[in-house]
Structure formats: C-alpha cells, structure tokens
Amino acid sequence: MHLSYTPEEEAFRAEVRAFLATELPEEMRDRVRSGRRLDKVDILRWQNILYRRGWGAGMWPKRFGGADWTVFQQYIFDEECAIAGTPMQLPFSIKMVAPVLMTFGSAAQQEYFLPRILAGEDWWCQGYSEPGSGSDLASLRMAAVRDGDDYVVNGQKTWNTYGQYADWIFCLVRTQSAGRPQEGISFLLVDMKTPGVSVRPIITLDGEHEINDVFFDNVRVPVQNRVGEENRGWTYAKFLLGHERTNTAGIGNSKRALARLKQMATTSSVGGRPMSADTRFRDRLSRVELELTALEITNLRVLSAMARGSAPGPEVSALKIKGSEIIQELVELQMHVLGPAAIASLPEVPTSGQYFNLRKTTIYAGSTEIQKNIIAKLVLGL
C-alpha cells in the first residue's frame, strides 16, 4: 500500500536522502546495518554532523537552536535515517530532558544545557526506575533532603541505559513523604562526576554492558539544578513519558529489519530450497509485513492529529505495544532463517545477541501490561 505525502514532504525526503548519501560515514552505516554496536564516540560524532547541518534537533523551536520541523518532517527524517543505517540520536537528551527544560526549566538551565545537548557536548541518561519501583514509579524512594542551597541525595536507580557514558543524569527523587506518593516527587539534574555517584554495570543476556545500577551516597546537588517546583516532579515526569512513548513505534527500524529478512530468506536454504519458498515462513512474513503497514497508517493518523494541535492520546500505547511486537517478530524470523548459525557472532547478519536484547522492547518506556491498562482505562472506561 502506498502512503501519500505532500510534494513539500517528498521534496524534504529527497533532501534527507541526499544528505545521508553524502554525509553518513560508510563505516557507521555498515556497522549499524550489520547489527554491530556503536560506541560513545560514534554516536556523538553523528550528532555533531547533524548539528553542523542545522538538524541537531529537528522539532526543537528555532529559538532554542532547532530546525522547527513539523511532526511529518521529523517522521520522514527518522524513517530515512533508520533505513540508511545511521547511529541513533540520544533520546534521553534530545527527546526527553530537553522538552522538559524548554517547558519547565529556568532561563539559566535552558541557556546552559540546551546548546550543549544540541552540539553533543553532554551525554544524558535517565534516573527513573528503582528496585521495586519500575511500573509503579510513584513508589520511588530515592530521597533528596534539603540542606541549605543543596539537596543531599541517597538511594539507587536501576535499569539505567548508558550511564557509563553519561555526563549528566535527570532523576526523580522523593522530597516529601506525606500525602499521595505522586505529590512528593521532584525532578533533579545531577552531574555524574559529583562525589558519591557510582555506576555498577548490569551485563545482559547478550553479554553486553548497556544498562547499569547507579548509586547515590550523600550526593550534594545544588537546588538550582531542580527543574520547576519542589514536589511537582510527577507532572514533569508524565510530560517526559508522553514524549518518550511517541517515539517507540520504531517503524523505520522495522522496515530495515524487514528488508534484511527478505534478503536473508532468498539466500538461505533449508533442504536445498530457499527459506522464501517455505509456505509457513511466507505466511508469517506476509502477516508481519501487513501488521507493519497497519502500524504505519495508525502512526500517521496520530501524527495528523498532532499536526492539528491535538496532544497524543491512548493510541500512543497501541503504537508502543504493536511496534514492540513487530520488531521482536522480525528478529525471531531472522533467527529461524539463520538456524544453527544464529548462535555465531557473524558481523554480516543479526545474531542471537540482538534477539535477546530486543526482548526489552515490551518492557521499556512502559511495559505492554501497563500500556494495556492505559488503553483499558482511557478507551474502554474500565
């Protein structure tokens, strides 16, 4: 099914493709397409390339240094980048903490942090989940006690992504224990070099170091690093999660995975026949391709509503659920095509490590169970 765009949007797509063809370093593209991990240097290098082009933050307002793109321009850009095989732009800085700072931060915070985020000078990570406080985030316990012009912070954050690279972490902390749990949370910006901050790696099933525990032992954080009002952090946290969940459908990445799967199916054989000739395999492949098309149509409907000024609603939860399931299905089918070779670490093809790593998609940014609860409450009135 062909999805139509305006002539202006198609012209923008052509501009993005031309930029990627000339500016995306070949070694970066090859590493992404082959499923090999990029390091901090690669990711920040790509951010700097975009920054020099004026595309460091597509949908940021121009007054903050952004390109002031429409939601459709951002969607086209993300899709073309995924298909081309670019490194990711750090979502924790560009798409999470930055919108919070633009909306709720002080002028001093905006003037200091936003240009550094845009130029890739600071690497940010997220401090939300705690042991026992993941899906039930309002139960978090990490305490921040006011002491003069500082907060003294003690506690632990877990499932922290790329904290080993981070310069800064944005944290939800408990500044009040009385009343409803949501009413005693504040939003702090913490320099990772502050004495008392320590990072302990969590090695995942794929053998990689991507996530961490982060410990805070009498960490002094200036009050000026609090975003907005004390005890109003839950409001800012929900605002941030709304931005996070609008970017989790992963359609561009799934399109790239689908194209790779089709290529693999024509070159891999079982019993002397290509996998693409297997009826049951073709049925699964056709079904997931149709589901991906339906997901894209639904996503474009959401973007159309946003372009008219509507805030993202519970349909974002449906995008998150289906997008997670589709990418997992695609990688599982790649494992079927590879057969016993899937256990080998082959640079040309996805590995079992990727398969295990992508199990997380139905957990992060709100688990599938949480998303279903949101739909049940806001759509079905349950």
What is the C-alpha separation between 183 and 239, in angstroms, rounded? 15
Q: How far is CA 43 from CA 29, 326, 333, 346, in A?
A: 12, 25, 28, 22
Write down the catalytic residue from 79, 80, 210, 244: 244
- The one-letter amino acid code at 7 reads P
Asked whether the beta carbons of 224 and 162 are under 8 A apart, the reply is: no
Closest residue by Cα to residue 231 from 198, 182, 162: 182
What is the C-alpha separation between 237 and 100, in angstroms, rounded? 8
What is the four-CA torsion angle of 136, 139, 143, 146, rounded to 10 degrees?
Answer: 110
Q: How far is CA 300 from CA 223, 295, 309, 358, in A?
A: 41, 9, 14, 24
Using CB atoms within 10 A of its CB, is residue 320 exposed (0-12), middle (13-18) or buried (19+)?
buried
Closest residue by Cα to residue 231 from 340, 149, 168, 151: 151
Buried b (16+ CB within 10 A) or exposed e, 21-37: eeebeeebeebbeebee
Closest residue by Cα to residue 102 from 239, 3, 232: 239
Count Cβ atoms below 10 Å from residue 205 Cβ, excluding itself.
Answer: 12
Ramachandran quadrant class, 244 (left: phi over 0; alpha: psi -120 to 50; beta: rest): alpha
Residues 6+ apart with CB under 8 A from 371: 317, 318, 320, 321
What is the C-alpha separation between 351 and 331, in angstroms, rounded? 9
What is the four-CA torsion angle of 204, 209, 210, 213, rounded to 10 degrees?
Answer: 80
Q: For residue 289, indicate whether it is catalytic.
A: no
**Active-site residue numbers?**
244
